[in-house]
Amino acid sequence: MKPKYIFVTGGVVSSLGKGIISSSLACLLKARGYRVTIQKFDPYINIDPGTLNPYEHGECYVTVDGHEADLDLGHYERFTNVHTTKANNVTTGRIYQNVINKERRGDYLGKTVQIIPHVTDEIKRNVMLLGKTGDFDFIITEIGGVVGDIESLPFLEAVRQIRWEMSEDSCCVHLTYVPYLHAAKELKTKPTQHSVKQLQEVGIQPDVLVLRTEKDIPSDMCAKIARFCNVAPDAVVQSADAPTIYQVPMNMHAQHLDEIVLRALGVESVREPDMAPWKKFLRHIADANETVKIGLVGKYVELQDAYKSINEALFQAATYNDRKLDLVYIHSERLTENNVQEKLSEMDGVIIAPGFGQRGIEGKFVALKWCREHDIPTFGICLGMQCMVIEFARNVLGLADANSTEMDPSTPHNVIDLMEDQKLITSMGGTMRLGAYDCVLRKGSRAAEAYGAEKVSERHRHRFEFNHNYRDIYEQAGMKCVGENPETKLVEVVEIPEKRWYIGTQYHPEYSSTVLSPNPIFLDFIKAAVRYHNEKSENSDK
Ligand code: GLN
């Protein structure tokens, strides 16, 4: 089958969940046996989101091939179980960089370089890249931003041209918002009509409309929208708020979104999607009555998107352990010796979050000391693992000034230090140790047991590492370096075996956790938290 291109655009407001709709559609097509990939085109000028503060667009996701990517790629992987790559996330910055590089090389042979055709051609080339690999039947392209934004115009122009050139092999799904006005007690369709008109003004006719809504939209209203927007009456689908994002594929399928899209692309729908494993996961969600309470200690806790993949990995792990997740965000900047007991004592497990820089770091040490001394299941991720190492040095090894050279370049005990190959790097973008690397786990370690394997591959995003000179004294004092990179010997996992569950990973296991393949170390962490919870309630019953 020739690859088919599905474009997903958004109107009215941002944050409607284009990523979730694209992922849900991909999930359904995959369950029909097709090979699907999703790519995101972001209209900002940064080359990639790696240099962005999480307050801007939330977490930076990392692909297996080491690309720092938009967090929507995390949804794509969680919903489809298909790896994304650098080719799945392209920004205006990258498009312009390519165009300017070509101009400098002389590729344009003396022509005036312009937005049309040169920038739009570069966008088109990138849109078609994954289709040319022969690996996919469907390429879903999510266009970031909202129709009407100045900065998304070149992307929409490229979409218009592709639609024109390959009309039968492409279609457009437009996501809009139908607000409910409480004072008037009415749902309003006008913003949708206007946003479709804006799309039509740039020459794109949507084939399918997905209406985000907080209230059920009556069928006559959907029919009215269809009539005003030149869309088939049954191609108007509504997406009401769902109790969990993982319900959305089923909601979309119930309204035949997958069939409508196949029809728009001239593909015969031969069988129903096999959603049995997905439904099993949803059943776990529905059946979970008891709760597991996890504290997440970090400095971006005001912003739920900053730790998106950790939240989702925890949710998946809790669900497969038949527990509801009660995730409590604990601001590391506000955590002190005086309030740590009050903040952490109800937790069944604690996560120490990744991050960069000094802000909030002391709170992480306070949390770790308390967790270690009270033997709470504790999981440190990346900076969280580095903090575990530093806290252990300060309070167990007696190295009071121990630190990471990231926080204190002149520390006398640099137990965490800049990686050797980072020392000459001056440029910030895309220069960390990024992407998936192998890690060999020590036989018999808790980490190896958790994975049920002695070799794993996980994704990284860091510049600093455990300082090998201190390895022996850690081992002797009870913090074991149980995971290392087979080539560089870089320490990837530490644990204190005598504790209930005290593990730190230099890598980010959250990036590889998906609905149908939850990450084993998260599963094991939640299992330990549940066990600890049960122990606590047994003791209090006595
Ligand atoms: N700041 C630390 C480093 O660069 C940890 C990074 C992270 O937590 N992602 O090594």
Q: What is the pLDDT of residues 348-397, one digit of tens each?
A: 999 999 999 999 999 999 999 999 999 999 999 999 999 999 999 999 99
Angle at 415 between CA 411 and CA 420, to 5 degrees: 95
Minimum-distance ligand 1 atom for the alpha carbon of 461: 9
Minimum-distance ligand 1 atom for the alpha carbon of 432: 4
**Cα distance between the two ends of the chain:** 66
**CA–CA separation, 461 and 68 (whole Å):** 9
The answer to whether residue 201 is catalytic is no
Q: What mean pLDDT value characterizes the chain? A: 96
Residues with CB under 6 A from ligand 1: 354-356, 382-383, 406, 461-464
> Ligand 1 atom 5: the closest Cα is on which residue?
383
CA distances, 416 to each of 19, 353, 409, 492 (Å): 37, 16, 10, 12
* pLDDT band at residue 57 under the 50/70/90 scheme: confident
Q: Which of 464, 491, 505 to mutate to test the pocket of ligand 1 (most atoms within 8 A of CB)?
A: 464
Distance 382 CA to ligand 1 centre (A): 6
> Ligand 1 atom 1: the closest Cα is on which residue?
356
Q: Is the pTM of this model over 0.85?
A: yes
- For 326-338, what is the mean pLDDT? 97
The 10 Å Cβ neighbour count of residue 68 is 23
**CA–CA separation, 268 and 263 (whole Å):** 7
Predicted confidence at residue 138, as pLDDT, reads 98
* pLDDT band at residue 82 under the 50/70/90 scheme: very high
Residue 56 has pLDDT above 90, yes or no: no
Predicted confidence at residue 102, as pLDDT, reads 97
The answer to whether residue 382 is catalytic is yes
Minimum-distance ligand 1 atom for the alpha carbon of 465: 10
Distance 507 CA to ligand 1 centre (A): 9
Residue 222, C-beta contacts closer than 8 angstroms, at least 6 positions apart: 211, 233, 236, 238
Distance 268 CA to ligand 1 centre (A): 48
**CA–CA separation, 392 and 399 (whole Å):** 9
Torsion of CA 322, 325, 326, 327, to 10 degrees: 150
- For 511-521, what is the mean pLDDT? 98
Distance 103 CA to ligand 1 centre (A): 36
The b-or-e profile of 123-162 (16+ CB within 10 A means b, else e) is bbebbebbbeeeebbbbbbbbbbbbbbeebbbbbbbbbbb
Which residue in 60, 382, 439, 481 is the catalytic one? Answer: 382
Predicted confidence at residue 144, as pLDDT, reads 93
The b-or-e profile of 37-55 (16+ CB within 10 A means b, else e) is bbbbbbbbebbbbbebebe
- For 493-521, what is the mean pLDDT? 98
Predicted confidence at residue 66, as pLDDT, reads 97
Residue 92 has pLDDT above 90, yes or no: yes
* pLDDT band at residue 14 under the 50/70/90 scheme: confident
Angle at 418 between CA 310 and CA 460, to 5 degrees: 30
**Residue 393 · residue 415 · CB < 8 Å:** yes
* pLDDT band at residue 269 under the 50/70/90 scheme: confident
Which residue in 59, 77, 406, 510 is the catalytic one? Answer: 510
Distance 503 CA to ligand 1 centre (A): 16
**CA–CA separation, 462 and 469 (whole Å):** 20
The 10 Å Cβ neighbour count of residue 384 is 26
Minimum-distance ligand 1 atom for the alpha carbon of 382: 8
